[in-house]
């Protein structure tokens, strides 16, 4: 679509530009108001003149119907809930197909944000205010049993307000209802450096042995733990064992530390959020209550340094990854592989070593996790 063209009543204000490799974005005007509009590059709905057999096109139509229903159900659930939330969730107000392509429309907002390095330099009471505001936005989503699936600082834009800070929650392209992610794993993208162990395992599982019920709202909690490390210390957790991504480090039973010495209650919270077993992570409501009970006098963030890592001499029994099949539902328990050959097929460390350089999100089963 080019500037000046009209689609579904929206007049395009700028030529569409590719964003993230899987979509194109622009701004559009309708009824005197400006909106953000996104065109999905996949899937493409087969038109009568599309190449391929009728059987192939019918298969693609069914996949597109599932994609459309997935997004409409999410948008309807969030939209019904968001009246009166103060606009913290910037969700799609329109979703439609034009020809072969799907489009999503949201209100236009300023997505510039306060960098995590700057947040970490603030007084503790202000960092706590930002963290609680972020949790408040996510709490609305988790109340609907919806997993965001791509939490990261860019999707939590922070604005200073008269009474403190407001944190918005944007980009629900990778969201799904708890325990029910898209069956087509190529429709999951996310951001590899913020994956939870179970999210990564589900995406890279070529044999599709790991079921969708391993993916609960606790996956977002793990990701939020990484973000909290950035908020309070100024950087992601420092990883031992040569790991590049937090999830591989935790999955391999290695220790983590932080760029700054953190107040004990903050460090304890972050470590619990980064637990390998989803059941050991707090819920979003529990995270909020813990933050609410922390007072500025509970500790002052110190100068740069590292915290003493927990004793990890005993590796966790739980593991996520190809060949590690869940023995129960809701991602609460994972058994070890049955054979040594199966055990050595793919490990977190080999994923770190083999991952290609990439600047965007990744898609599909069997992919290697990108090093950011």
* pLDDT tens for each residue of 221-262: 999 999 999 999 999 999 998 999 999 999 999 999 999 999
Q: Quick check: is 276 in a domain?
A: yes
CA nearest neighbour of 189 among 21, 73, 76, 17: 21
Look at residues 107, 125, 152 and tell me which one is the last residue of a structural domain.
107
Task: Give the per-residue pLDDT at 186.
Answer: 73
- Count how many domains the chain has: 2
Mean pLDDT of 145-169: 92
Asked if 177 and 145 count as a contact pair (C-beta separation under 8 A), the reply is: yes
Task: Give the per-residue pLDDT at 339.
Answer: 33
CATH code of the domain covering residue 246: 1.10.510.10
pTM, two decimal places:
0.81
| 152 and 37 together in one domain | no
| 261 and 133 together in one domain | yes
Mean pLDDT of 337-362: 35
| 99 and 206 together in one domain | no
| 87 and 173 together in one domain | no
pLDDT at 323 > cutoff 50: no
State pLDDT tens for residues 34-44: 999 999 999 99
Q: Quick check: is 94 in a domain?
A: yes
Mean pLDDT of 5-26: 92
Give the residue ranges of DSSP H helices in the chain. 54-82, 116-119, 124-142, 197-204, 218-233, 246-251, 264-273, 284-293, 340-343, 348-354
| 157 and 251 together in one domain | yes
Mean pLDDT of 151-165: 90
pLDDT at 292 > cutoff 90: yes
Could you tell me the residue range of the domain that residue 18 belongs to?
Answer: 7-107
| 219 and 313 together in one domain | yes
Rounded to whole angstroms, the Cα distance separating 197 from 199 reads 6
Residue 354 pLDDT grade (very low, low, confident, very high; cuts 50, 70, 90): very low
- Write the burial class of residue 246 (CB in 10 Å: 0-12 exposed, 13-18 middle, 19+ buried): buried
Task: Give the per-residue pLDDT at 204.
Answer: 85
Q: Quick check: is 369 in a domain?
A: no
pLDDT at 74 > cutoff 70: yes
How far CA 344 is from CA of 295, 320, 334, 337, 355, in Å, comes to 47, 13, 17, 9, 17
Q: Quick check: is 337 in a domain?
A: yes
Rounded to whole angstroms, the Cα distance separating 224 from 226 reads 5
Mean pLDDT of 166-182: 93
| 288 and 345 together in one domain | yes
Cα 129 off chain centre by: 22
Task: Give the per-residue pLDDT at 36.
Answer: 97
Residue 163 pLDDT grade (very low, low, confident, very high; cuts 50, 70, 90): confident
Q: Quick check: is 246 in a domain?
A: yes
CATH code of the domain covering residue 74: 3.30.200.20
| 78 and 161 together in one domain | no
Task: Give the per-residue pLDDT at 368.
Answer: 37
Asked if 352 and 243 count as a contact pair (C-beta separation under 8 A), the reply is: yes
| 170 and 268 together in one domain | yes
State pLDDT tens for residues 121-132: 999 999 999 999
Residue 206 pLDDT grade (very low, low, confident, very high; cuts 50, 70, 90): low
Six-digit token string for 122: 């603030």
């Amino acid at each position: 679509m080019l500037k000046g063209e009209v689609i579904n009543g929206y007049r395009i204000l700028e030529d569409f530009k590719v964003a993230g490799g899987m979509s194109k974005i622009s701004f559009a005007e309708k009824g005197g108001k400006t909106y953000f509009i996104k065109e999905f590059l996949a899937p493409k709905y087969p038109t009568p003149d599309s190449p391929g057999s009728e059987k192939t096109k019918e298969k693609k139509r069914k996949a597109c119907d599932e994609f459309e229903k997935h997004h409409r159900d999410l948008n309807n659930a969030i939209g019904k809930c968001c009246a009166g939330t103060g606009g913290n969730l910037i969700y799609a107000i329109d979703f439609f197909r034009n020809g072969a392509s799907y489009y999503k429309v949201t209100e236009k907002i300023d997505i510039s944000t306060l960098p995590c390095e700057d947040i970490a330099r603030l007084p503790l009471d202000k960092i706590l205010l930002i963290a609680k505001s972020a949790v408040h936005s996510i709490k609305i989503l988790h109340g609907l049993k919806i997993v965001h699936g791509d939490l990261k600082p860019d999707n939590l834009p922070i604005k200073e307000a008269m009474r403190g800070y407001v944190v918005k929650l944007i980009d629900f392209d990778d969201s799904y209802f708890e325990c029910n992610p898209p069956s087509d794993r190529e429709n999951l993208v996310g951001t590899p450096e913020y994956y939870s162990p179970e999210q990564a395992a589900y995406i890279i599982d070529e044999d599709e042995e790991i079921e969708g019920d391993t993916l609960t709202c606790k996956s977002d909690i793990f990701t939020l733990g990484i973000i909290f490390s950035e908020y309070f210390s100024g950087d992601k957790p420092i990883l031992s064992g040569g790991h590049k991504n937090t999830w591989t480090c935790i999955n391999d039973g290695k220790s983590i530390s932080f760029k700054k010495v953190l107040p004990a209650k903050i460090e304890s919270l972050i470590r619990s959020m980064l637990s390998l077993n989803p059941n050991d992570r707090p819920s979003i409501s529990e995270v909020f209550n813990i933050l609410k009970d922390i007072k500025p006098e509970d500790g002052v963030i110190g100068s740069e340094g590292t915290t003493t890592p927990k004793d990890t001499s005993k590796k966790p029994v739980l593991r996520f990854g190809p060949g590690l099949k869940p023995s129960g539902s809701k991602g609460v328990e994972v058994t070890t592989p049955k054979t040594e050959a199966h055990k050595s097929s793919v490990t977190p460390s080999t994923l770190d070593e083999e991952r290609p350089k990439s600047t965007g999100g990744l898609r599909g089963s069997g992919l290697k996790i990108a090093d950011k």
